[in-house]
């Protein structure tokens, strides 16, 4: 990539703000698939997040929008809940044994904690 392309990508990335996070999951089991999905808005009264814009033009950012780093952490938290719910639904529906659900949930929590920790420690992922 050319330097100007990298600079442009970094400029866009630094201005990126997220107002909604969505996570869906499915678990395949002996008795079929179990699905779970969650959607979370970030302090926004409108789907597009433009309520209360303080600036206009290309620099306009919803005042309550998340930084990229905040959005990543929010996604990990929401995705973890979707993963857990899918495994719980699979167990409740008789598709997987309880021990499989318990093992999966324990591993999920550990893996998401690792992702969140790495994201918070990273200086290059943008945000606060």
The predicted-structure confidence for 74-91, as pLDDT tens digits, reads as follows 889 989 999 999 999 999
DSSP element (H, E) containing 74: helix 68-92
Q: Does a structural domain hold residue 116?
A: yes
Q: Fill in the DSSP letter of residue 67.
A: P
**Neighbour-count burial of 47, counting CB atoms closer than 10 A to its CB (0-12 exposed, 13-18 middle, 19+ buried):** exposed
Q: In this prediction, what percent of the chain has a pLDDT beyond 70?
A: 75
pTM: 0.69
Which residues constitute the domain of residue 77? 3-121
Using pLDDT thresholds of 50, 70 and 90, give the confidence band for residue 8: confident
Q: Does a structural domain hold residue 126?
A: no
Rounded to an integer, the average pLDDT of 105-118 is 95
Q: Of 2-6, 17-21, 59-63, which range is least confident?
A: 59-63
Domain count, the chain: 1
pLDDT at 23 over 90: no
């Amino acid at each position: 990539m050319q330097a100007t392309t990298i600079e442009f990508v970094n400029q866009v990335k630094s201005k990126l703000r997220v107002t909604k996070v969505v996570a869906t999951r499915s678990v395949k089991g002996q008795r079929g698939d179990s699905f779970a999905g969650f959607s979370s808005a970030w302090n926004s009264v409108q789907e597009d997040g433009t309520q209360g814009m303080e600036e206009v033009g290309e620099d306009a950012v919803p005042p309550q929008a998340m930084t990229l780093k905040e959005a990543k952490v929010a996604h990990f938290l929401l995705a973890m809940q979707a993963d857990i719910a899918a495994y719980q639904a699979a167990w409740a529906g008789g598709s997987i044994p309880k021990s499989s659900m318990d093992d999966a949930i324990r591993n999920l929590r550990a893996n998401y904690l690792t992702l969140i920790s790495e994201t918070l420690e990273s200086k290059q992922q943008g945000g606060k």
